[in-house]
Chain A
Amino acid sequence: MTRTPAPGADNRETRIRKTLLTGFIIVLFLLGAWRVWALSHTRRAAYPEYSFRATRGLLACVEEGARLLADQGEKAFAAFDTQPFRNDKFYLYVYRSEDGRCLYHGGSPDLVGRQGIDFIDLHGKQVHSLVLGEFSNPDNPHCWVHYLWTPPGEILPLWKSSCHKQVVMPDGTGCYVGGGVSETLYETEFARIAVNSAVRLLAEQGGPALTTLTAPEKNFTFLDAGVFVLDERGVSIIDPAFKRYKSRDMTQYRDASDRFPFRLLLDKLADSPVALAPLYAAMPQSMNLRKKIIYARKTRMGDTPVIVGMAMNAPENIWQR
């Protein structure tokens, strides 16, 4: 026997469906509006100056780790072995400031008890000394240090960028907690830090600072990039490509897109003390060009007006590759 639908049953069903749909939309709108209101009243560190989530995540973990260490001392090490302080991307480490002794290491526990001062990378960077030096650098508030690091169990080194925070533990021990990422995250902020630090050094020391700026063991050469210095006409004092090659007119340089990035940079610097300019480099075995960003500042080296800058790979979207 087949059931015949009652007259008006279709209308009733349609009405119920419409009511349910309207209710669903209203609930979604209310939930969304409440959440937006709640978020707009929240203040959380977001590190807007950094482009990569991985960098922001690392910074948040190092800062939280430093807070835990200041509160709990060595008891915090147990927490550092768990998420979010230790994951497949990074881990934390703690060194005593006084003598560079390793107190905790999430990646290579066998380093605990050894002197971090022993660690010198392939470019001759003494990482512990660089970290301590950077704590007094006002241009590098998160104490970024870049060095070649061989991951545990590997033999080939990778560029690693690490940030650090100083802590005094409850027992009075001064130390620093740090963590790094070895996936070559080209943060334009790293170029800004290096250029601003170079500008400060030139202002303090004048010409002799040039030796420090070209030294591979210092914090001005990293991620296959280095600080350059030009005179106000665009002629190199420290060349972007060859550290000891001088007096090259960079305004004549055409990049892979056939344009003059340093002319654009100089034009921008005519109106502003700081400028960013794009530069395109050919990529081997690809039809696409690699975008780089030049971050540059006008300053003085003694009485001479100069331009200090750095060209670094720009962050790019994965689907543009």
Chain B
Amino acid sequence: MSDFIYAREDVPPPLQLLLLSVQQGMLMFLGTLFPVMLVAAVGGEQEMAVRMVGMTMIASGIGTLIQSMRSRWLGSGYLCPNVGGPSYLALSMNAAMMGGMPLMQGMIVFCGLVQVVLARILNHVRFLFPSLVVGLTVLMVGLSVVPMSFANFCGAPLAGDSVLWQDVAAGCVTLLAIVAFNIWGKGAARLYCLLLGILAGWVFYLFLCPFNPEQFAMIRESALFAVPFQRLSQFRLDFDASLAVPFVVISICGTLKTFGNLLAAQKITQPELSGIDMKPIVGGVTADGVSTALSGLIGAIAVDTSASNVGLAAATRAVSRYIGFGVGALFVILGCFPVVAAVISLMPPPVMGAALIFAVSFMIVAGIEEIMSVKMDTRKIFAIGMATIFGLSTVLVPAPFARLPEFLAPMFANPLTATTVLAIVFYQMFHIDLTIANLRKKRDG
């Protein structure tokens, strides 16, 4: 498409590549929160949290590098970075509590392998993903980031705590700055709208918000350089068969999420395609499985593809996969420089929240566009409408879902997986007569 600043195969000049990689990296830093949460939940020490953040950054970096590749088997060749995400967090915590880090790592490796197997099946079940289901999946991928984005925009307060007007003001300034640079900026101002907005919001926040001496102490205490691989015991893996079923279910959900992210990336990167090109999608899901397995192997939390980064690529019209190589390499390097990671991790939550809201807006609209491009009939309306209602009920009316049998619970743990699964089922169910008629027609020649 002509209005790309850097299309899929364009190689940006070195300085631009670095700045665009940093811009994507800023959004990925939110993923470093999750290992800290996990370590806190299992009662681990500070040193363990630091090591795990480093490992997760390295795993994210390698995952992004693999995803940007365009080999026959591995990688989608889209700018679809990997981050330590919340999808696997709850189950990972459970495994870590039951059998320590080796069990958690072993189960994550298992998840990755399941995903690789699922990726090979995807091509044969293409009929399950008509445009309508794809659009709804992309929309839900965007919506699934809303709680985290909005909570951060308000300063990420703890439940029951005050929301400070200073935080909201910093969020608004950041968001306005990013949007203004994107709408009215030209050239570099538009290309780096997120970086400029983050910078403006961060400086504004420094003037407005209360001083926290702990933050300076954290930077002072961080090592300049530290390789997070320290002992061989870090790579020990365990397996518990009783956890296999929930981990398989979460792998299916993870695969669907990655599928949605990659579809969104494909829609944004190759808008000229009339249908789905499954080859890069299968390669991308395989790459995601390999990255997940690798993250378990090296002792990181499970990484998967990031919806907000795909949104950022759409917003800046810089979709070159070489930016993926840049940000991947950057994350691998930064994983060994805890002090740099410490400085960036001090990015105020409202600034981060504003950046996420900006990026996710594009995902949501991409999903709506895809849905609206389909001519509706009652079958489709029921399939999509009902899947959306039941899917969103998991967050709007969660109480009845608490009574579900344990093996079904992960499927309805969030609106993304619930809506996607239900949309696939309802769509096929309501078209069953047409499918049978088609099959008969084919049989009769």
Question: Which residues of A are in contact with B by a Cβ distance under 8 Å?
Answer: 14, 17-18, 21, 24-25, 28-29, 31-32, 35-36, 39-40, 42-44, 46, 48, 51-54, 57, 89, 183-186, 257-259, 264, 268, 276-278, 280, 284-287, 291, 315-319, 321
A54 adjacent to B98 (CB under 8 Å)? no
Contact for B162 among A89, A257, A285, CB less than 8 A: A89
Not counting A28-B200, A318-B159, a sample of 8 additional A-B residue pairs whose C-beta atoms are within 8 angstroms of each other reads: A17-B189, A32-B199, A53-B162, A286-B398, A287-B402, A318-B154, A318-B156, A319-B151
> Are the CB atoms of B199 and A14 closer together than 8 Å?
no
User: Contacts of A40 on B, CB cut-off 8 Å?
Assistant: 216
**Chain B 140-184: CB-based contact to A (< 8 A → 1; otherwise 0):** 000000011011101011111110100000000000000000000
Report yes or no: B161 in contact with A53, Cβ–Cβ below 8 A.
Answer: yes
Q: Are B97 and A259 touching (Cβ within 8 A)?
A: yes
Chain A residue numbers with a CB within 8 Å of B42 are 278
Query: B188 in the interface, Cβ–Cβ < 8 Å?
Result: yes
**Which residues from A are CB-within-8-Å of B404?**
287
Q: Which B residues are in CB contact (< 8 Å) with A28?
A: 199-200, 203
CA distance A318 to B163 in the complex (A): 11
Distance A47 CA – B58 CA, assembled complex (angstroms): 34
Partner of B210, one of A21, A46, A277, A321: A46
Question: Which of B160, B187, B203, B413 is the one whose CB lies under 8 Å from A32?
Answer: B203
CA distance in complex: A217, B409 (Å)? 42
Look across to chain B and name the residue whose beta carbon is closest to the beta carbon of A36.
Answer: B206
| B214 interfacial by beta-carbon distance below 8 Å | yes
Cα A57 to Cα B162 in complex, Å, equals 9
Q: Count chain B residues whose beta carbon lies closer than 8 angstroms to a beta carbon of A.
A: 46
Cβ-defined contact, A319 with B210, below 8 A: no
- Please, which residues of chain B bring their CB within 8 A of the CB of A17? 186-187, 189
Which chain B positions have C-beta within 8 A of A31?
A: 203, 207
**Contact between A51 and B213, CB atoms less than 8 A apart:** no
**Contact residues in B for A291 (Cβ distance below 8 Å):** 41
On whether the beta carbons of B160 and A184 are closer than 8 Å, the reply is yes
How far is it, in angstroms, between the C-alpha of A52 and the C-alpha of B154 when the chains are bound? 14
Which residue of A is nearest B400, CB measured?
Answer: A285
Q: How far is the CB of B369 from chain A (nearest CB, A)?
A: 27
- 19 A-B contact pairs sorted by A residue (CB < 8 Å): A25-B196, A28-B199, A28-B203, A31-B203, A32-B203, A53-B162, A54-B162, A186-B160, A257-B98, A258-B98, A264-B43, A278-B43, A285-B398, A286-B398, A316-B158, A318-B156, A318-B158, A319-B150, A321-B159
Report the bound CA distance from A278 to B43 in whole Å.
6
Judge whether B188 and A287 touch: CB under 8 Å. no
- CB pair B160 A52 closer than 8 Å: yes
Q: Across the interface, name the chain A residue whose C-beta is closest to B394.
A: A287
CA distance A259 to B158 in the complex (A): 26
A287:B412 contact, CB within 8 angstroms: yes
Q: Given A44-B211, A287-B398, A287-B404, does the pair A259, B98 have CB atoms closer than 8 Å?
A: yes
A319 and B199 form a contact (CB under 8 A)? no
9 A-B pairs with least C-beta separation: A319-B151, A285-B399, A319-B147, A32-B203, A35-B206, A315-B158, A259-B97, A54-B162, A52-B161
> B148 to chain A: which residues have CB within 8 Å?
319
B382 at the A interface (CB under 8 A): no
> Does B212 touch A at the CB level, under 8 Å?
yes
Q: Which residues of B (11-45) have their CB < 8 Å from a CB of A?
A: 41-43
Residues of A with C-beta under 8 A to B213: 43-44, 46, 48
Q: How far apart are A292's CB and chain B's nearest CB, in angstroms?
A: 11
The CA of A213 and the CA of B92, in the complex, are separated in Å by 37
In angstroms, how far is the closest chain B Cβ from the Cβ of A148? 17
Contact of A53 among B151, B164, B196 (CB under 8 A): B164
Let me know if B402 and A257 touch, CB within 8 A.
no
Residues of B contacting A32 in the complex (Cβ-Cβ under 8 angstroms): 199, 202-203, 206
Most chain A CB atoms below 10 A, which of B154, B164, B187, B206 = B206
In the complex formed, the residue of A with least CB distance to B167 is A53
Q: Give the CA-CA distance A89 to B162 in the complex, in Å.
A: 8
Docked CA distance A261–B203 (Å): 43
Task: Give Cα A66 to B302, complex, Å.
Answer: 50
- Flag if B206 contacts A39 (CB, 8 Å): yes
Chain A residues whose C-beta falls within 8 Å of the C-beta of B207 in the assembled complex: 31, 35
In the assembled complex, the CB of A28 is this many whole angstroms from the nearest CB of chain B, namely: 5
**Chain A residues positioned under 8 Å from B196 (CB to CB):** 21, 24-25
A317-B211 in contact given A21-B188, A257-B97 (Cβ < 8 Å): no
Among A28, A53, A287, chain B packs the most CB atoms within 10 A around the CB of A287
- Complex CA–CA separation, A39 to B202 (angstroms): 14
Provide the bound-state CA to CA distance between A277 and B42, in Å.
8
| Docked complex Cα distance between A306 and B202 (Å) | 49
- Taking CB atoms, residues of chain A closer than 8 Å to B160 are 52, 54, 183-186
Chain B residues, CB < 8 A from A318: 151, 154, 156-159
A291 to B157: give the CA distance in the assembly, Å. Answer: 17
Given the complex of chains A and B, what is the CA–CA distance between A286 and B240 in angstroms? 26
Instruction: Look across to chain B and name the residue whose beta carbon is closest to the beta carbon of A258.
Output: B98
Q: Does B430 contact A (CB under 8 A)?
A: no
Tell whether, in the assembled complex, residue A268 and residue B43 are in contact, meaning their CB atoms are under 8 Å apart. Answer: yes
Chain A residues with CB under 8 A of B159: 315-318, 321
* Contacting residues, chain B, for A57 (C-beta < 8 A): 162
